[in-house]
Structure 1
């Protein structure tokens, strides 16, 4: 699988259908996430928190660009806040989030991720923060 196929499959065949037991198929044991998550289990904890807060969350890949062993993905989701999010009680409000991730691969697995997301925008949309 090419690095871009690997990233697309992570989102479409693992994250969106909630088949998180498949994470080791995509992430190396030495994987390091953007928040310092270690391995597939660390990444799983991060995405499970998002899926708990937004049970209908589904990533839409808008762009996927590759250069060598790195892949940049631009995605969005629109989902309702029906579970706790960082201590914030569910509001039932819908939020749209845009994000960009850069993944690095080695020998057919993802080894590193850097993510930029609009967390403040989500918190504003669910009414947890006002400016």
Structure 2
């Protein structure tokens, strides 16, 4: 076996490590130029995003609305090629969100995401969040 292939085998991340790295390096530290290290070129995001660049656009929109956004991973577990995590963030809406002007209000959101890994990268994501709750917290929707 060649030395290069041995190094790549030793440095290959588990699916759980890929998800942890995605959230810590790319999302929390805003190192969006590193998305291709974690996401496959054919990645399909929870909102239909395609590839690392599609996911990047989604993250940029969220961060422009919540510049102090930081995900806290509360639970993470993996089975084979799938990883499930439960996360939480608390951040102030300082930029527009879904056509709603900045409110300055702090919101709390929790979510559950499932990722599928294939070929050493994340290839698919599913997400459950309370978007209506966020709109209520910023005063955009009242019930």
Give the TM-score band, short-chain normalised: over 0.9
Shift in Å, 1:108? 1.0
Q: Which residue of 2 aligns with 1:55?
A: 67
Superposed CA RMSD: 0.5
Please, which of 99, 109, 113 is the counterpart of residue 97 of structure 1? 109
Partner Cα separation in structure 1 for residue 77 and residue 127 of structure 2 = 15
Q: TM-score, normalised by structure 2?
A: 0.90
Tell me which of 124, 127, 141 is aligned to 1:112.
124
5+ long unaligned stretches in structure 2: 1-12
2-structure distance, mates of 1:49, 1:117: 16
Q: Within the alignment, does 1:45 sit opposite 2:23 as a pair? A: no
How big is the shift at 1:14?
1.4
- Greater Rg by CA: 2
Is it true that 1:12 corresponds to 2:24 in the alignment? yes
1:32 aligns with 2:49: no
Q: Please, what TM-score do these two structures have when normalized by structure 1? A: 0.99
Runs of 4+ in 1 over 6 A off after TM superposition: none
Q: Quote the Cα distance in structure 2 between the aligned partners of 1:93 and 1:72.
A: 29
Deviations 1:28-76 (A, max 9, x none): 0000011110000000011111000000000000000101100001000
